[in-house]
Amino acid sequence: METPPEPSAIPPEPSAPPTAPAPPPRRRRWKLKAFLAGLVLLPVLFVAFYTLIMLSYAYSEGNRAGYLQKFSRRGWLCKTYEGELMMTSVPGVAPTVWEFSVRDEAVARQLTDASGKRVVLFYEEHRGLPTDCFGATNYFVDSVVVSDR
């Protein structure tokens, strides 16, 4: 029977140099980035979807007749066409001023040419829009008839 060699006869194992802790697996970082991106992207998508729905469905539709008192393009960041219609029911009674917005360039050109004239405006009301970038009012004029009288 052979005897095991003495401990002094066994060559010592080379000691490994100390290493830094291993970085976390890439999978975890990716998941964290995806979660944070989703956290930011989800509210943006919700607001975009909500705005699309609010612009697609009209709360009310109708027409108003009167004299086009003012029409201009205004706004700091989002330039929109805004106007005022002076509506009189009976001569001698104080007129009611109705404010409206226009999104269509062709309608805006028609209204610019009709300033001071009697007009009939056809509109849709869209309530609940999140910003004024679509118009300063809830009433969006989509067509105009200029009256000759």
Q: pLDDT (tens digit, 9 = 90+) per residue, 21-67?
A: 766 666 677 788 888 888 889 999 998 898 888 888 999 999 999 99
* Neighbour count for residue 94 (Cβ, 10 Å): 6
User: Which long-range contacts (C-beta less than 8 Å, at least 24 apart) are formed by 146-149?
Assistant: 146/110, 146/113, 146/114, 146/117, 146/118, 146/119, 147/65, 147/117, 147/118, 147/119, 147/120, 149/118
Q: What is the pTM of this model?
A: 0.71
Model confidence pLDDT, tens digit, residues 56-112: 899 999 999 999 999 999 988 889 999 999 998 787 888 899 999 999 999 999 999
What 3-state DSSP class applies to 18?
A: coil
